[in-house]
Amino acid sequence: MTQIYSPYLSRRHLLLAGAATLAGGLMPRTALAEAPPLGGTVPGWYRFGIGDIEATIISDGLLNLGSANDQFPNAPQDDIARIMKEEFLPADPMMLEQNCLVLNIANRVVLFDSGIGSDQTFGDKAGRMLRNLQAAGIEPGQVDDVVLTHAHCDHCWGLVADDGALNFPNATVHISQVDFDYWTDEANLSGPGFIPFFVAGARKNLLPYRDRLSFVADGKEVMPGVTAISTPGHTPGHISYVIASGGQTFLNVGDVVHHYALLFENPGWRFAFDSDPGMAAETRLKLFDMAASEEMPMIGYHFPFPGLGNIRREGSAYAYVPIPMVHA
């Protein structure tokens, strides 16, 4: 019997048809070709347009952040449990994607954030950026500029290989001077908590590029079509980027917001890895207000792949609305 799938047939019709087939004595056919499971990973890149700019999201894979309760220590734990249940997500472990953005602007190849490299502090599902970059048809040697939102491990530890060789031998690295100075400061190797670990990795990845650094500044163009906006709090010198071309605009938010389900609904929550959680929340509210007022779509480093979405106001809070992928 030929099964016809149609939106006009109800599930009940299909169930009845299936029951009739079995009742008629026909057995489900056995497979004629062997098709063992293939394993492997999810698609690692997605290409789209921003006006005249060709944009590609390159996945660096997933980070395992452990318990959401530990990551938002001051948030009501009942709220975390409720939201994650409503989103059909585990609250432990809380997983975050890593979406690196590549722009092809007038024959320049510009990479935003480098992924975490080979470090497995946050699990073994990360560190896939270089592989996925090449799968997308882009060689690391073609990258002219690496533009950083900030100097945390998951954003800059992919700049050098384990032996210290430059992964992007022809690139200039753009970063705020505040973040560069803080995260490469030897004195911070004796800082509290996770700081020394992050500083050691930032020094390893950033200092080899010290002769080819360019400091970005609030309100200034990094290159035609890309403007830096100072968004401090998550790190002292965190930067977001407005990308505009041909009447289209995207806001590359970096880590001003990371978990789409928790932080749009609760923009005031404090995240354990924020340098200044109060300032981070203030910055988040300002950026949300701007993006919602101007209906500016976002590119989120940690949103579900490929990380493109709009923001909708809901009372005094917000909601994240993912943008469906388009087929070129």
Applying CB under 5 A, the residues found at the interface with Zn ion are: 154, 255
For 204, the token pair is: 């390893």
| Closer to Zn ion by Cβ: residue 115 or 225 | 115
Which neighbouring-strand residues pair with 160?
A: 166
CA 168/CA 144 separation, integer angstroms: 8
Looking at beta carbons only, is 103 or 256 nearer to Zn ion? 256
Query: Which residue, 145 or 154, has its beta carbon nearer to Zn ion?
Result: 154
Considering the complex, what minimum distance in angstroms separates the CB of residue 166 from Zn ion? 22
Cα–Cα separations (whole angstroms), residue 235 to 37, 164, 226, 227: 43, 25, 21, 19
Select from 226, 219, 256 the least CA-distant residue to 241: 226
State the minimum distance, in angstroms, from the CB of residue 134 to Zn ion: 23
Query: Shortest gap between Cβ of 66 and Zn ion (angstroms)?
Result: 15
- DSSP character string of 258-317: --HHHHTT-TTPPPTT-SSHHHHHHHHHHHHHHHHHTT--EEETTSSTT-EEEEEEETTE
Q: Which of 285, 311, 281 minimizes the C-alpha distance to 297?
A: 311
Least Cβ distance, residue 62 to Zn ion (angstroms): 12
Contact predicate 182/160, CB 8 Å: no
Closer to Zn ion by CB, 97 or 255: give it: 255
Fill in the DSSP letter of residue 213.
E
The least distance separating Zn ion from the CB of residue 296, rounded to whole angstroms, comes to 21
- The distance of closest approach from Cβ of residue 254 to Zn ion in the complex, given in angstroms and rounded to an integer, is 7
For Zn ion, the closer CB: 53 or 255: 255
Task: Return the number of the residue (97 or 154) whose C-beta is nearest Zn ion.
Answer: 154
**What SS3 class is residue 242?**
strand
How many H helices and E strands in the chain? 9, 14
The residue (of 126 and 222) whose beta carbon lies closer to Zn ion is: 126
Residue 23 CB, shortest distance to Zn ion, in Å, is 56
Which segments within 92-179 are labelled E, that is strand? 95-105, 108-112, 145-147, 172-176
Alpha-carbon distance 147 to 102, whole Å?
10
CB of 273 to Zn ion, least distance (A): 8
Query: Which is nearer to Zn ion, 51 or 236 (by Cβ)?
Result: 236
Which residue has 């946050």 as its token pair? 122
